[in-house]
Amino acid sequence: MDRNGFSYESFFQRKPVKYMKSPLNYVGGKYKLLPQLIPLFPHRIETFADLFVGGCNVAVNVPAKQYLCNDLNTPIIELFQVFQSTPISSILEHIDANIQHYHLTKQNEEGFLALRAYYNDTRHPLDFYTLTCYSFNYQFRFNAHMEYNNPFGRDRSHFSDRMRKNLIAFTTKLQTVNMEFTSKNFRDISLDRFTPADFLYCDPPYLIASGTYNDGMKGFTDWNKEHEIALYDYLDRADARGLRFALSNILSHKGKENELLQRWCRKYRAIDLCPKNAQTGYPINKQENREVLIVNYGVDNGNFITQPIF
Ligand SMILES: C[S@@+](CC[C@H](N)C(=O)[O-])C[C@H]1O[C@@H](n2cnc3c(N)ncnc32)[C@H](O)[C@@H]1O
């Protein structure tokens, strides 16, 4: 039990809720963190706005009346829009036709490269999805000319039965909820559209540990201090309007500190997401990252009333 009367042991040993996983293997995806994250969100949400939706791991698992899912990465957003608007049988037929036509297997790099070249000419989102299924680490990357350039996932990557089931579950969900997808810079999403019944969730690239989602994509620059400060300003303005927000981030990473964030978050609540030893208060596993959720609302999860960590 810590000094706030919260037992980390019981919190982290609760029967696990089954969360839905994105069909995209997203760098920085929050799937594994969902059991810690989602109980900290408000219970009643009118519009859940996920401003850096990435693989959509979070939005697809949060109960809300409607959703706004945004990401600067246009091919991802276009893929989600196709998942939303295409009968599941047609999605699977398209992927299966690709597998047959290009003889895609875990060993056939030539077939993979042929589909990659075809996609780079024609840009159909379902060809993009098929490519990710046969790519190294199931990931995706684009070069400066917006060409898909992830290498082949030899001996490992293929469209497995598990992925098929997962894709069916995910697209079914997308087709049954009221979800809007947009591809904008977060700064261009006007705060005017939100009310205090809504909830803004931000999972931006981490300043001190950037992933490769934007790897040289045209129109993208790496996440930098200027973006970070613009996001703090955006969230301060949201707070001033009485809007609730939560920001995922890390305070430190492999010895590097995000001092900007450490200073900024003092005005809100930074909830430490690393499980701690109940007696000593030290993290149970030696963590390379100090992962936090910064919120501007009171989190009352059963007995769990959070306090600022500073
Ligand atoms: C850490 S990932 C989000 C992962 C997501 N929460 C998940 O669980 O799948 C960060 C995302 O921010 C997007 N991004 C980067 N800069 C952005 C910007 N200025 N506006 C909107 N999205 C941006 C990237 O394309 C990337 O998809």
pLDDT band (50, 70, 90) for residue 214? very low
Domain ranges in the chain? 8-73+183-305, 89-171
Are 8-73+183-305 and 89-171 equal in CATH topology? no
The mean pLDDT of 119-123, rounded to a whole number, is 97
pLDDT value at residue 219: 41
Beta carbon of 57 within 6 Å of any ligand 1 atom: yes
pLDDT at 8 over 90: no
Whole-number Å distance, alpha carbon 10 to ligand 1 midpoint, is 32
Whole-number Å distance, alpha carbon 213 to ligand 1 midpoint, is 8
pLDDT at 280 over 70: no
Beta carbon of 246 within 6 Å of any ligand 1 atom: no
Which of 165, 272, 203, 275 has the alpha carbon at shortest distance from 27?
203
Beta carbon of 54 within 6 Å of any ligand 1 atom: yes
Beta carbon of 153 within 6 Å of any ligand 1 atom: no
The mean pLDDT of 176-194, rounded to a whole number, is 98
pLDDT > 90 in the chain, percent:
72
Q: How far is the C-alpha of 207 from the C-alpha of 122, rounded, in Å?
A: 34
**CATH number, domain 8-73+183-305:** 3.40.50.150
The mean pLDDT of 137-165, rounded to a whole number, is 93
pLDDT at 211 over 60: no
Whose C-alpha lies nearest to ligand 1, atom 27? 54
Atom of ligand 1 nearest to the CA of 186: 20
Which tens digit of pLDDT belongs to each residue from 230-258?
999 999 999 999 999 999 999 988 889 99
Range of lowest pLDDT (31-45, 84-98, 270-284, 290-304): 270-284
Which of 155, 118, 123 has the alpha carbon at shortest distance from 136?
155
**CATH number, domain 89-171:** 1.10.1020.10
Q: How far is the C-alpha of 303 from the C-alpha of 6, rounded, in Å?
A: 7
